[in-house]
A and B are shown apart, each in its own frame.
Chain A
Amino acid sequence: MVRPLYTGSEWNFELLEDVYNACEVIAYDDLNLNIYQNQLEVISSEQMLDAYSSSGLPIYYKHWSFGKHFSAEEQNYRKGYTGLAYEIVINSNPCINYLMEENTMTTQTTVIAHAAFGHNHFFKNNYLFRQWTDASHIIDYLIFAKNYLYDCEQRYGSDIVEKLLDSCHALSKHGISRYKRPVKLNFFEETQRKEERDEYLKSIYNDLWRTLPKTKKQVEKKHDVAFSDPEENILYFIEKNSPILELWQREVVRIVRKISQYFYPQYQTKVMNEGWAVFSHFFIMNRLYDKGLLTDGAMLEFIHTHSGVLYQPSFDNQRYNGFNPYYLGFEMFKDIKRICENPTAEDKEWFPDFVGSDWLETCLHAVENYRDESFIRQFLSPTMIRKLKLFVLNNNVDKDHYLVEHIHNRQGYKKIRESLASQYEVGNMFPDIQVYDADFKGDRTLMLHHNMTNGRSLNKETDDVLKHIKRLWGYQVKLESRENNLLKKSFSTDAVPQLKIE
């Protein structure tokens, strides 16, 4: 006779351990998960609020915007507008899982199954995370960043550091080279690199050189930073080419850029990541119950929590706020399992590749090799479209009505799938803005191009962002919105050069 792991709702450290071990057996034997070592950390609700305000990272440099987010979160939480998350999990090795002390034992079990196994497996195996992040070194890098910025504040004053960070943050979503493989981060190498550079600068410093007249050749050489192709990574371009930034300021730009890159895979895999974590916890909890390790009461409580997390209102519901990634992702993984096990004639026509194959293998393959956009493009089935009753609306500003273009019927499936997938395309989340030209030999005006699609222009914050770019660049910044090479709209800052950040 198997006895349940626990009976009450109170948790303690021994129970956490037992539950973890029980989950681990299922995760390895039944789900074939491959995970980083886990580190479970029990925290209080206050600490959870703290973690919120720094994007969930355990260590972050200091900046007022985190204080602003903290104040807003705290307000919402205190007034009861929002609850706190049950957990936060960090893509690091070992994988850090925060468990809230207020959670009941059942919630803790769910959270362990969800984060310590589901998310953890996703972090370790998904190709985007493997390419873009270095889980073993992120914590070290964050420590480096925090210390570096602290030193800068001490040395150059917190005002200037704050301004620099403000400007960098405005561009943080434009600090990624999507088509180049990033260099992995490493605390020791970064520190060493910085020290070597400082050392080198010190060793070659000789005040006499300054007094030498420059030859014409040298003058030309200095300005001859040619670039041929437009650069999509604005922060990178500024870091390397800004005429006014000092060395330490370039390092700060680099830090913001690198940390922003760490988050890059996360907003491209929200649906899949959450979907897989929910799928894992749902599977593990049910297996625990089947084995007799959970009481009926615990199972009922779990189902209640589970369905709360997975709530997806319709578009006409007041609470509708876009697609719930938990729901969409979970349903899709469940659907893949169904197609593998009990395919209909329609599924056979749509998914000849994996109909009847091993469901677990197919799911694990999807986790490894897809991101939200490609995942939806590949796996969203007509069954799902019918279940969600999806439809495509066209919004044309010039018309006084929305047009229903496609609904869940035979003609619509492919189009709906296409539309939904492109909604999750990273290129469509942020406007496509690139550095087009910088007049190095002339007045150093920085020219940016915005590739406009379907007449969708930039919003009213654009001028403010340009001011931030100017702060980093020092000279006038212009931006042109073009569609099919036709100039539609242009923005510009003032032309007064500002030769250092102040």
Chain B
Amino acid sequence: MTKYIIDRRLNPKGKSISNRQRFIRKAKKHLTDRVRKNVVDRSITDKSEEKISIPTDGIREPTFGTDHKTGEHDFVLPGNKEFSPGDKIPKPKGGQGGVGAGGDASDQGEGEDEFAFSLTRDEYLDVVFEDLELPNLEEKNREDVTEWEQHRAGYTPVGSPSQLNIERSMIRSIGRRIALKTPKTKEIKRLEHEIEQLEEAIKYYKDDIKAMTKNRALIKKLQKEIEDLRRRHKAIPFVDPIDLRFNNFVKKPKPTTTAVMICIMDVSASMGEREKELSKRFFLLLYLFLERKYEKVDVVFIRHHTTAIECSEEEFFQSKETGGTIVSSGIELAGKILKGRYPASDWNAYIAQASDGDNFTSDLPVLEDVLVKQILPIVKFYTYVEIAGLYEQQRSFWNTSTGRSGMWQLYEGLHSTWGNLVSKRIAEAGEIIPVFREFFSKVNSGPISTLTKDPEKEIL
């Protein structure tokens, strides 16, 4: 009997993807809860897959089945070593799952309440950043455009032969020939055949037999007709240059999809491990979010106490400093870096600042000046996170007007004119996600768009 051997390896993969998406959609509610809880505990640089367990509530597939913990039944097992008929084996304490019927029962332990599976990094971040959007997103064109993208743009009558679109050209060729009533070769063949038949018929008659004159006349007529058709056929070309159509491409400058994110953190003595940890979490989230929106994200770290320096990620989170705080130093440095290395024409700039709110009072006017003149006009979004004290008393104290830090009051005041500056207070890790979502939720991005139309022009 014949057989077939087929190589299916090249068939499209991912037949299950749409089923998996359906499943994730189904499990969405639980998934979202778990993921948002989990992202807080997640380590910062972890890029691996995320293992998630969700309650089986919404994704259970119930069927009728027998409860193995009721009634009486016999079952057969292999591997008897010492038992004789009539022996009694005490049941294991804490449920009878141990030696259930054919092992069915033993699987019904803890696995029943949780369903564990892996999310890919993309699926994971999709859930984390669902419904979030970057405000003031703009496509930037570089001045020295070096990258172009080819886009299809219909068809043209002129072009290089390699771009000839045969289908389009032939459609036009056929149309033209129909319009000009080009005789069909089939028609010519039919006439020729007719002549052949007539000639066959008169072959055995002499030329002067009268009965055949009619046929001869007909042959002549047909021959003339064929000649006429042939002439017309020749006169109308099969493909005319006016038929030709070429695929058309236009060059478009590639939009800049680069962003720079500047992390500014106060590392003065008042910032302890807890404060740093919270800031770090916030920075990470912002980084992950930007990374999804832009092809390339540069990160700049600036730490400051009374003076500011640019540093590596490690130093940023680990080094200990002492001393007082002059916030404007950090902001000023950020402005310098932006101007020098990341011109607004090429880069979307984001600044994330974390601090405990302490600042020399005398620095506040300087800070305001730097922000308004150098920073706010050119950055897309400026987030300020103030790490609140650990204790609830302090938080309630903070809610009174005297308790608010000078920084906070300044930023709050600026927010009314500069919509791209937003500030939030965080006291514990659990608050980070809600705060982050508030910053970037689609609804909230409305008022921020009151930002001046063209910030670049104002600077220049």
Contacts and interface: CB of A to CB of B under 8 A. Distances in A.
Interface of A: 13, 16-17, 20, 24, 35, 37-44, 46-47, 49-50, 53-54, 62-68, 70-72, 74-75, 78, 94, 98, 101, 116, 162, 166, 169-174, 312-317, 320-323, 388-397, 400-409, 411-412, 416, 419-420, 423, 430-431, 433, 452-462, 464-465, 468
Instruction: Across the A-B interface, give the 5 residue pairs with the lowest CB-CB distance, nearest first.
Output: A314-B79, A67-B23, A455-B71, A456-B71, A67-B19
B4 interface: yes
A313 B68 CA distance: 22
Contact of A461 (B24, B64, B78): B64
B116 interface: yes
Contacts of B81: 314, 316, 389
Contacts of A40: 3-6
Contacts of B161: none
A339 B26 CA distance: 55
Q: Tell which of B14, B79, B102 has the most Cβ of chain A within 10 Å.
A: B79
Given A50-B16, A65-B61, A456-B67, A315 B99 contact: yes
Interface in B1-59: 1-9, 11, 13-16, 18-26, 51, 59
B6 A42 contact: yes
Contacts of B69: 397
Contact of B62 (A50, A170, A457): A170
Given A43-B8, A315-B79, A459-B67, A71 B60 contact: no
Contact of B5 (A20, A71, A174): A20
A419 B101 CA distance: 12
A393 B15 contact: no
B66 interface: yes
Contact of A464 (B62, B72, B75, B83): B62
7 contacts: A47-B13, A166-B61, A171-B63, A390-B76, A391-B80, A408-B80, A461-B64
Given A393-B75, A459-B67, A423 B102 contact: yes
Interface in B58-116: 59-81, 83-91, 96, 99, 101-104, 115-116
A16 B85 CA distance: 53
B84 A407 contact: yes
Nearest to B117: A71
B72 A62 contact: no
B213 interface: no
A54 B60 CA distance: 17
A405 B13 contact: no
A68 B5 contact: no
Contacts of A433: 64
A66 B22 CA distance: 9
A298 B15 CA distance: 34
A397 B66 contact: no
A42 B8 contact: yes
B118 interface: yes
B54 to A, nearest CB: 11
A343 B114 CA distance: 53
A397 B70 contact: yes
B22 A64 contact: yes
Nearest to B89: A402
Nearest to A71: B117
A74 B103 contact: no
Nearest to A101: B9
Given A47-B13, A401-B91, A402-B88, 11 more contacts: A46-B13, A54-B19, A64-B23, A64-B26, A68-B59, A320-B103, A322-B103, A393-B77, A456-B73, A457-B71, A462-B62
A186 B89 CA distance: 54
B13 to A, nearest CB: 5
Contacts of B99: 315, 393, 395, 402
B102 A322 contact: yes
A64 B83 CA distance: 47
B61 A170 contact: yes
Contact of B91 (A63, A400, A461): A400
Contacts of A405: 74, 85
B63 A70 contact: no
Contacts of A423: 75-76, 101-102
Contacts of A323: 78, 102
